[in-house]
């Protein structure tokens, strides 16, 4: 049997605790205090992995819906799907979704200039402008983005098909997130009294 090293387990526990902290922030925190470094037992890990697996499946379904509506050849659909499941593509798409009327009532414009995407994504992805431009061009080809011009600069906006599909997918993921929060909150409630006793 192969087991993780102590360093790997500690790293995973930190990752798990960061996930729980992010979840607490999204739901406004838990009513009861708990240890900053909550131990991630099998139930917590299983709940997190189940959520991530379900969320990944929803993203795949959303991506496939958008790509298939573009009318691409099967080879191009497969190529798109291989790329769309990566964090780089997801992050760029979510940036445009958040900046659009689909993701924010305060959106000033439905499009972002490519230079702005480069600037915002550098810290997140650590990709140069040519790599980001390549990904944006692919997202145009696959039906996620539509080209526009803003003050003589190339810009892109989410297509209505992509924006609607992403919004629907995120709405469908909310109950999964609430379920994950409930499972972790109940575990936190069980852990705190045991530790404070």
In a domain, 1, yes or no: no
The 8-class DSSP code of residue 148 comes to E
In a domain, 197, yes or no: no
Longest dimension (CA), the chain: 66
Here the tokens at position 86 are 């990566």
> Which CATH number does the domain housing residue 126 bear?
1.10.10.10
pLDDT tens-digit profile, the chain (197 residues)? 677 788 887 887 787 778 777 777 766 654 445 444 455 677 777 888 888 899 999 999 999 999 999 999 999 999 999 999 999 999 999 999 988 888 877 766 778 999 999 998 988 898 999 999 999 999 999 999 999 998 899 999 999 999 999 999 999 988 888 888 888 777 665 554 444 44
Global pTM? 0.77
Range of the domain at 174: 7-191
Count how many domains the chain has: 1
In a domain, 196, yes or no: no
Residue 133, SS3 per DSSP: helix
In a domain, 134, yes or no: yes
- DSSP H or E run through 89: helix 87-99
- How many C-beta neighbours within 10 Å does residue 111 have? 22
- Gap between the Cα atoms of 51 and 71, Å rounded: 31
């Amino acid at each position: 049997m192969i087991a993780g090293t102590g360093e790997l387990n500690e790293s995973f526990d930190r990752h798990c605790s960061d996930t729980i902290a992010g979840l607490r922030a999204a739901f406004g925190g838990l009513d009861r205090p708990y240890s900053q470094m909550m131990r991630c037992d099998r139930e917590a890990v299983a709940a997190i992995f189940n959520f991530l697996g379900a969320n990944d499946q929803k993203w795949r379904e959303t991506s496939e819906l958008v790509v298939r509506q573009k009318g691409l050849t099967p080879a191009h659909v497969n190529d798109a799907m291989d790329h769309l499941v990566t964090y780089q593509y997801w992050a760029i798409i979510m940036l445009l979704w958040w900046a659009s009327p689909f993701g924010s009532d305060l959106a000033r414009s439905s499009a972002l200039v490519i230079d702005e995407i480069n600037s915002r994504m550098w810290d997140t992805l650590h990709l140069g402008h040519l790599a980001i431009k390549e990904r944006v061009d692919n997202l145009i080809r696959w039906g996620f983005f539509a080209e526009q011009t803003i003050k003589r600069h190339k810009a892109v906006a989410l297509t209505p098909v992509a924006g609607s599909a992403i919004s629907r997918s995120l709405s469908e993921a909310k109950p999964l997130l609430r379920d994950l929060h409930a499972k972790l909150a109940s575990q936190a409630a069980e852990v705190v009294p045991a530790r404070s006793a």
